[in-house]
Every structure is written in C-alpha cells, then in structure tokens.
Amino acid sequence: MTSTSERVAIVTGASGGIGRASALRLAADGTAVVVHYNGNKDRADETVATIAASGGHAVAAGGDIADEEAAAALFDVAKRAFGGVDVLVHTAGIMPLAPIAQLDLEVLDRVLRVNVRGTVVVDQLAARLVRPGGAIINLSTSITRLQAPAYGAYAASKGAVEALTLILARELRGRDITVNTVAPGPTATPLFLEGKSPELIEQIANNNPFQRLGYPGDIAEAVAFLAGPARWVNGQTIFVNGGAA
C-alpha cells in the first residue's frame, strides 16, 4: 500500500470525457485518483501518466460498475494504493437515443442496469467506505429538465439518480459526508457528439447564452467544488449548462 496524506478519489468512467477531466482537475487540487475504466484501458493509463507527469498520484482500475464484485474491487484498489477513499465521482453511464414508441426494451434494460443499478452499486459502497469529511458526487443530465425527444430512457435513468442522491444524503445523517449530483448540459464529449450532424450540434450549442457547447473542464470545475470546499451543499442537483435550462 502506498498510503498518502492526500484526499483520495475514485472517478468512474475516467478514461474519457467528463470523467477524465474530473480526474485531472481533482489531481490538480492534490487529490490521489483511482482512474476507472470499462473498456478503454489505454486511455485510462494515459490519464494516469498525465497526472503522474504533473507530480500527482493515480492508478488505473477497470471493471463493470454495475457488478457488485467488480465495483468492490475498485474500492479495494483505492484502499491498497492510497489507504482509503474520501471522494466518489460517478460519471460512468450510457446514452442510447430512441423515441419512446420505438424504444427497444433490451436497450432500456441496459440503460437502467448501467445508469441506475450502477449508481446504486457504487453509492452503496461509497456510503459504507467513504471517510468523514468526504463527498459522493453522481452525474445526471440537464435533459431531466429540458425533456428533449428521443432521450426518454436516458432521462428516466438520470431522474432516478437525482432521487437516489437526495435520499442517500439524508440517510448519511451524522456521517459528515455530502451527496450531490452534477447535471451537465450539452457537453462536447464523444458520448454526446456521436451520431449528431454538425448542423444539429450548432443548433444545440446556440440554446444557451454562451452559444457554445460545454467543455468537460467546465463540468470538472463543479465536481471539484463539490469534492472539496462545498461542505454546506448537500442533497442537491447542480445544473451546469451555461444557462440552457
């Protein structure tokens, strides 16, 4: 075990997009990071190398976050590498799109498994293992407010995440652990950009006063705030979308 005096964070889905930006941002604050991936090990290793090159501490760990044993192993890695866990940032999720009338129920089952069951699994572990003064940060989406067509399954799954967040915050009464949700708006990540035409992307970008998509780093700033100084923010869903909703 390489125990450190730093705060320690697990960031799920940290091999790319918002997860990677969050891992880098937390590392910049001096937090040791477990960089989780579920498929893109090379990208996770690259994130670890970037953190190490800046003088930080990080380790990569893979697994299906909706599987109890794989998720528990992730927390074990944090314990062995850094001595424990102070922060969970749960960004891992999937976003297949389809109108509700044409939604394949097998796809719905997959969305619910990854986005809802996965959140329950990692939040359960965090509720048991995060140290006092820690933070649990889930990721939702501004689509729960925007209610755009074709996002039915995704919005439903993230609405569940927001409900789970507030309930868990109240259940951790007396533990000095905050539980919040960050709900990004349209953000320039591979998950969001996939399958969209340049014209559609421009149209979506113009829906907020800044007339651009969010960047992963924009979202990571909110994550860093909740992971560190925001001790009086608890049980909240923070919409980080440039004013789109």
Element (H, E) at 219: helix 216-227
The length of the chain is 245
**Residue 111 class from Cβ within 10 Å (0-12 exposed, 13-18 middle, 19+ buried)?**
buried
Extended beta strands in 22-158, E state = 32-37, 58-62, 85-90, 130-139
Comparing CA positions, the residue from 160, 183, 198 lying closest to residue 244 is: 183
Give 3-state DSSP helix, strand, coil % of the chain, rounded to 5. Answer: 45, 20, 35
Catalytic residue among 37, 151, 154, 215: 154
- CA dist 49 and 53 (Å) reads 6
Cα distances (angstroms) measured from residue 210 to each of 95, 158, 225: 25, 25, 22
37: annotated active-site residue:
no
Active site residues: 154
